[in-house]
Amino acid sequence: MKAVVFHRHGGPEELRYEEVERPRIAAHGVLIRVRACALNHLDIWVRQGIPGYQIPLPHISGCDVSGVVEEVGGEVAGLAPGDRVFVSPGLSCWRCDMCLSGRDNMCPRYRLVGAQVNGGYAEFVKVPALNAIPIPGSLTFEQAAAFPLVTVTAWHMLFTLARLQPGEEVLVMAAGSGVGSMAVQIAKVAGARVITTVGSDEKIPKAKALGADEVIQHSRERVAERVKALTGGRGVDVVIEHIGPAVWDQCVSSLAKGGRLVTCGATSGPDVKIDLRYLFVRQLSYKGSYMGTRAELLEGAKLVGRGQLRPVVDRVLPLQEARQAQELMLSRSQFGKIVLAVRDGA
Ligand SMILES: [Zn+2]
């Protein structure tokens, strides 16, 4: 089959479109003919290499996948060739205390499709049958690839970690990012007042269309000052962020007393300064989030299937253009997800 592969860690030039062996499935596995695979920042980290994070080489990235079941293993029930499915990216053991208490993203053996095992930048991908889930509603393959990772992440951040309540005020950083575009919508559906940020004027109406009540253009407005003005000087109850040092101080200054800041990324770098006096006097919580549970993904997928949450696809490129797609993502000009489409014969 054709796939986009890297043989060593490095820049986007390491991505090569080439012929590789088609994956072979085990008794509990399914082989999916990939139709679409959405990009995530994780793909960049995996390509560059992350300290302490084992990536088998050569490697195929891509954790947000949709397609058609091609072949099922002998022990698989409930799935058949021809089924339209999307992939739940988290792989867990389903036997440990974490898995059995519904916290499968904390499983000691937790791994991700497209990180520790090969992913969907390819004509075919294999996953355990449990990870192939029927596409909800009437979503296209591109939409079905665009929602899983950002939906499960935003759901876990807003509900499980921040314990968002109806009527609360939320600041979602970067409405144009994948997680941001979904967090704005989920917070709105949950009955929150949503303030978000964008980096250019043309993204303002797009952020409003997602349901944002207020949009701050961060290239010409101070985020924390605007948040304070919009909340009568109080600040927001919850901040959802994934950018890191470039925005950290603004996020912290935007919090109301008792506010909760949840972060799931470090696109501008790993190090931030924390003033402990500010943390305890204002009784703040800072929480880290990594993916989410299978149950949260299924909850989110229900709303996606009903059209209450909309996967935001910025553009679709052919698989062969994975390198350009990653470079485009790094330019931050997109609004929503960049998706690779896989055609027959790729
Ligand atoms: Zn487990």
Q: Compute the distance from residue 290 Cα to the ligand 1 centre, in Å.
A: 15
pLDDT of residue 115: 95
Strand intervals (E) in the chain: 2-5, 16-19, 29-38, 64-72, 84-87, 90-91, 111-112, 124-128, 132-134, 169-172, 193-198, 214-217, 236-241, 255-263, 285-288, 313-318, 337-341
Q: How far apart are the first and last CA of the chain?
A: 8
**pTM of the model as a whole:** 0.96
Asked whether the beta carbons of 123 and 163 are under 8 A apart, the reply is no
90 CA from centroid of ligand 1 (Å): 11
Distance 295 CA to ligand 1 centre (A): 14
Ligand 1 centroid vs 276 CA: distance in angstroms? 34
Tell me what the mean pLDDT of segment 231-245 comes to: 97
Task: Give the Å distance between the CA of 294 and the centre of ligand 1.
Answer: 12
- 146-194 pLDDT, tens digit per residue, is 999 999 999 999 999 999 999 999 999 999 999 999 999 999 999 999 9
Give the pLDDT confidence of 266-292 residue by residue, as tens digits: 999 999 999 999 999 999 999 999 999
Expressed in angstroms and rounded, the spacing between residue 165 Cα and the centre of ligand 1 is 30
Ligand 1 center to residue 96 CA distance, Å? 4
